[in-house]
Amino acid sequence: MQLTAEQEKLLDHPIHSRIFLHGQAGSGKTTAGTQWLKKLLKENISAHEIVVFVPQRSLGQPYQDSLREMDEIAHSLINVLTLGSLARRMVDLYWPMISHQAGFGMPLRPPQFLTMETAQYYMAHIVRPLIEEEGFFSSLTINRNRIYSQILDNLNKSAIIGFPYQEISGRLKSAWVGDIEQMHIYDNVQSCVNNFRHFCLENNLLDFSLQVEIFTKVLWPDPLVRDSLTRHYRHLIVDNLEEDTPVAHDILREWIPSFDSSLLIFDEDAGYRFFLGADVASGYALRQTCEKRVHFESNLVSNPAISHIKQGVQNAVSRLTGGTPQHPEPTQEDVLSTLMIPETRPKFFPAMVEWVADQTRNLVESGVTPGEIVILAPFMPDVLKFALSTQLGEHGIPYQTHRPSRPLRDEPATQTLLTLAKIAFPSWDIFPKPINLSLAFTLAIDGLDLVRSQLLTAAVYQTGSNGEILQPFEHVPGEIRERITYRIGERYDHLRDWIIENTQEEELHLDFFLNRIFGEILAQPGYGFHQDMESGNVIATLIESIQKFRWAVGNPLSAYQFSIGKEYIQMVEDGVIAAQYIHTWEDRDPDAVYISPAYTYLIKNQPVDFQFWLDIGSPSWYQRLDQPLTQPYVLSRNWEKDEVWTAEKEINAANQSLQRLSIGLLNRCRKKVFLALSELDVRGYENRGLLIRILQQVLQKSQGANQ
């Protein structure tokens, strides 16, 4: 690999150094970090003595990948840690020593670590009776899964910011200036938090917040635990420091002096995980722990014209906030070479999507690799994803979508398999509606359309009888059989017979059932998921989710005598969000157009040649999600105790978010940005958001810069 002069200079530092490396995205910092790792290994430092510390596991992947070039090194020995994985590892290791001290009800029994899904499940178990019997959150009109997730988010914030969870309600109420009803909502949140924490302690359940709290308050202060960590790990690399949390920074501040070497990598103009607790200020303060500070000034990604556009965006945001522009304005040549907008602004949303698909086709036909194209939106709702997928599919362009917060229930593959599971386990008494079974047959059986599927369902689906729920194809009336075709009937009978033969034992676990029916039937020729890799990934995530749910659920609720499979399906139908699975972040197809929410793309930190920004008139590019049960700005370490959250602060936060997002995207674009817009958004409302005003300013100032 050809390194830059700045990277070479960094690698000239002696190994026993503490270095704070900072610079903008695209300046080669992570590449320098991977080369520093190789330098350590080439100096005969044992791999198990090195720790790579990142805010999210996927961000450690470049370090794992770089070691594949070193055949003599067992790269699996490199420790890639996050605050969460470190806390879980230490709690599991020292459980016998701290279980009683931490206040668990069954200290002699092993702990049960909860995923995001299982934590929401138990939160629902606690909160649902309070909603239904005591009227909690009666003034809210949001889905219950959002209630559960926002309460858990408050708990997580208390752990990673470092304040007692008992103060959540007080902090939220002190910053509120609206109606009194919101105060009651915050009190309800606190009651739910308290009950959930008590339930977890009583039943040896550890959600993320409890794992972090036990590690930071019980284990980390213990000299025995700290000594074992400092003796085991001798060399430290921290990447994306700005995306980590204040408590993680606290741990690192105390830990760094004990390392023989440390390299801290900080990305300027970032902090995209702020809503997840990232703290740029406390991350930057860690420069004080390093004797040497290195700044990378070069940009290895963006061309000069895009860098000038970035400066124009910064100037426009400064003018909006009453500041003075600090950079030269981009020229008209810069704008024409790097920004592409429709010649005629489409009025309706579908026309905008069609323009995006046409421009993507033009790029691919001109020789651009699809993997060098990303299509981004602030959010990726189903209607937008479907429209893009349809248009790109018609042009024969491969694509890949990634929406990590998408509920499992919204995935067609999930709906299909869970519908078949309801049929396979009639004792659950949760039979699907006929239309849902028809949709499942349509996706499961190759060549079956919805109309014929409804005819098939009407003829074979019988929930009221005590006999078989699915009748054989021969029971279908003759004229309908011919319309459906005997080939489809043969495939249906094969699927039906398999279900009957393989679900005689009620003890068959749901994940076992889904794994077998997918592999033995649905992924075979003649069925809907044959060679469908995207659906295969969804099913793999679903099966892993069920497996973890089965491991975590049972003992605390054993007195209730319920089916775990049935309970899981009901949880999915309630909209509980799938946990983050690492393979969904790793598996980027280099030969497919990447479609994702903008922040998801930023976290992946992979530059491309061409970006499409969709619906740039939408306020969703900068507005916060409506979260009536939490407030990320108030629940942060930088919030002053006596402050209140005003409309002015909301506007300033929106401006900062938009600048951070737009600059981050430009830093990851090599050649051109396509700006897609329409007069009316997908709901028919007029688009006049802040991003389009900023870009209009850039265009106007570029014309003046040429005069």
Residue 266 and residue 140: Cα distance in Å, rounded?
Answer: 40
Give the mean model confidence (pLDDT) for residues 15-40. 94
The pair phi, psi for residue 221, each rounded to 5°, is -70, -15
The pLDDT value given to residue 115: 87
Say whether pLDDT at 391 is over 70: yes
Say whether pLDDT at 8 is over 70: yes
Q: Picking from 16-25, 334-343, 666-675, 682-691, which range would have the lowest pLDDT averaged per residue?
A: 682-691
Superfamily of domain 5-81+234-296: P-loop containing nucleotide triphosphate hydrolases (3.40.50.300)
Average of per-residue pLDDT values in the chain: 88
Tens of pLDDT, residue by residue over 511-558, are 999 999 999 999 999 999 988 877 888 888 888 888 888 887 755 554
Tens of pLDDT, residue by residue over 161-187, are 999 999 999 999 999 988 899 999 999
Residue 175 and residue 642: Cα distance in Å, rounded?
Answer: 7
The percentage of residues in the chain with a pLDDT greater than 90, rounded to a whole number, is 56
Q: Contact, 390 vs 595, CB < 8 A?
A: no
Burial of 335 (0-12, 13-18, 19+ CB in 10 A): buried
Give the mean model confidence (pLDDT) for residues 654-669. 91
Residue 405 and residue 407: Cα distance in Å, rounded?
Answer: 6
Say whether pLDDT at 375 is over 80: yes
Q: What is the DSSP track for 465-476?
A: SSS-SB--GGGS
The pLDDT value given to residue 285: 96
Reference 638, options 152, 160, 161, 284; nearest CA is 161
Say whether pLDDT at 585 is over 50: no
At residue 312's C-alpha, the angle toward residues 673 and 279, to 5°, is 85
CA dihedral 641, 647, 651, 657 (to 10 degrees): 50
Burial of 151 (0-12, 13-18, 19+ CB in 10 A): buried
Say whether pLDDT at 612 is over 50: yes
Reported pTM: 0.86
**In this structure, which amino acid lies at residue 211?**
Q
**In this structure, which amino acid lies at residue 672?**
K
Give the mean model confidence (pLDDT) for residues 608-625. 90
**In this structure, which amino acid lies at residue 379?**
F
Confidence of residue 37 (pLDDT cuts 50, 70, 90): very high
Architecture in CATH of 304-405+586-705: 3-Layer(aba) Sandwich (3.40)
Alpha helices (H) along 135-232: 144-161, 168-174, 181-202, 208-214, 223-232
The pLDDT value given to residue 462: 86
Between 703 and 602, residue with greater pLDDT: 602
The pLDDT value given to residue 583: 47
Q: Contact, 595 vs 611, CB < 8 A?
A: no
Characterize the bridge pairing of strands 18-23 and 292-296: parallel
The percentage of residues in the chain with a pLDDT greater than 70, rounded to a whole number, is 93
Q: Contact, 372 vs 674, CB < 8 A?
A: no
The pLDDT value given to residue 559: 44
Tens of pLDDT, residue by residue over 345-372, are 788 888 899 999 999 999 999 999 999 9
Give the mean model confidence (pLDDT) for residues 141-156. 92
The pLDDT value given to residue 582: 44
Say whether pLDDT at 74 is over 60: no
The pLDDT value given to residue 405: 62
**In this structure, which amino acid lies at residue 511?**
D
Q: Contact, 234 vs 18, CB < 8 A?
A: no
Residue 569 and residue 578: Cα distance in Å, rounded?
Answer: 13
Q: Picking from 32-41, 106-115, 287-296, 374-383, which range would have the lowest pLDDT averaged per residue?
A: 374-383
First-to-last C-alpha distance (Å) of the chain:
43
